[in-house]
Amino acid sequence: MNTYIFYAFIAMILWGVSDFSMQYFVRKIGRIATLTWVGIFGTVALFPFVVNDLRAIFNINNFYFLFFLALLHILSALLLFSAFKHGKLSVVETVMTAELPLTIFWGILFFKEVLTLEQSLITGALFGGIILATLRKKEGKLKQIFSSYHWIEKGVFLAMGAVVVISLINYFTATNARLTTPYLAIWFPWFVFTIFSLAFLLMKHDVKRAFINLRQNWLFILFMCLANCIAWITFSIASTKINFSLLSAISLCYPMIAIFLGVVVNKEKLTKMQYAGAIIALLCSLLLGIYATF
């Protein structure tokens, strides 16, 4: 197997694992604390790999791209962690399967790629599956469905916002990895949002509690940070060596891993309609990825 294809599979597996872990810690220690420890770990662990390339940041074009990517990381983390806090992991991750077709959309917009008829039909079916997976059975009269938002699973709209931003992150990560280095494309955004999250903790006087949580859960937090860091690095490296559509098709199937963990480990319950929607969405995501490689 090609080394960089293997990297794509590593990214898929570890993204699923890290998302599953993040849902637990968002609910246990909070969004900002989780973001802080992820950022600190990535900033410190990757520094030796970027220390000789820091001068690239001072190129004004590189700086603009990297700083914009950092802002996207902050926004996506806040949206996604909020979705994890309020929604089922299985449902949130099913919505996240839209990441692949949205990444293709940015390809159309920026790279002038064209979807075939088959790809367009699969994309439509994928979003149909997402709709099924994010609706839950409503107790009460049918007319209440149309008079309130209670029939929508919690966290769905937050996840939708997150998936748009994350699809942009995929594109700009690959762009920055090619403009600078794969490690710098990851390190600089994490450095910026680490400063942001630390500042927020200081303003909220939550630094002490964050360290208490770290001491009590350091092994699991380390595991979460390590999985997330390796996933992003392998994705970034692979984006400079293989076709971006192929990379996306493989690595962005990671919701299958997180959904499996959510159902098996968390014992999350889905309706038959949600199972059907999840299966449709995941199969279409995989099929769309296969078509995107041609």
- Tokens 């080394």, residue? 3
- Tokens 């970034």, residue? 236
The answer to whether the CB of 222 falls within 8 A of the CB of 230 is no
Structure tokens at 62: 């590189």
CA distance 92 to 130: 10
The answer to whether the CB of 133 falls within 8 A of the CB of 91 is yes
Structure tokens at 119: 């790809």
Q: What is the pLDDT of residue 140?
A: 43
CA-wise closest residue to 33 among 191, 208, 220: 208
Helix (H) / strand (E) element for 254: namely: none
The answer to whether the CB of 155 falls within 8 A of the CB of 83 is yes
Which residues, in sequence order, are CB contacts of 104 under 8 Å at separation 6+? 113, 115, 119, 123, 245, 248, 288, 292
Q: What is the pLDDT of residue 260?
A: 74
Strand partners, 152: 135
Neighbouring CB atoms inside 10 A of 162's CB total: 25
The answer to whether the CB of 205 falls within 8 A of the CB of 68 is no
CA distance 127 to 214: 39
CA angle (104, 108, 112) in 5-degree steps:
140
Residue 135, SS3?
strand
Q: What is the pLDDT of residue 191?
A: 94
Mean pLDDT in consecutive groups of 10 residues from the start of the chain, 294 residues? 79 86 77 85 94 91 92 86 73 73 77 68 76 60 40 72 90 90 94 89 83 85 92 92 75 73 78 81 72 57
Under DSSP, the state recorded for 214 is H
Q: What is the pLDDT of residue 144?
A: 36
Helix axes 31-50, 182-203, angle to 10 degrees: 140
Helix (H) / strand (E) element for 237: namely: helix 207-239
| Phi and psi angles of residue 135, each rounded to the nearest 5 degrees, phi first | -95, 140
CA distance 290 to 281: 14
What is the sign, positive or negative, of the torsion defined by CA atoms of 223, 157, 92, 280?
A: negative
* N-to-C CA span, the chain: 19
Separation of CA 59 from chain center: 28
**In the chain, what are the domain boundaries?**
3-292
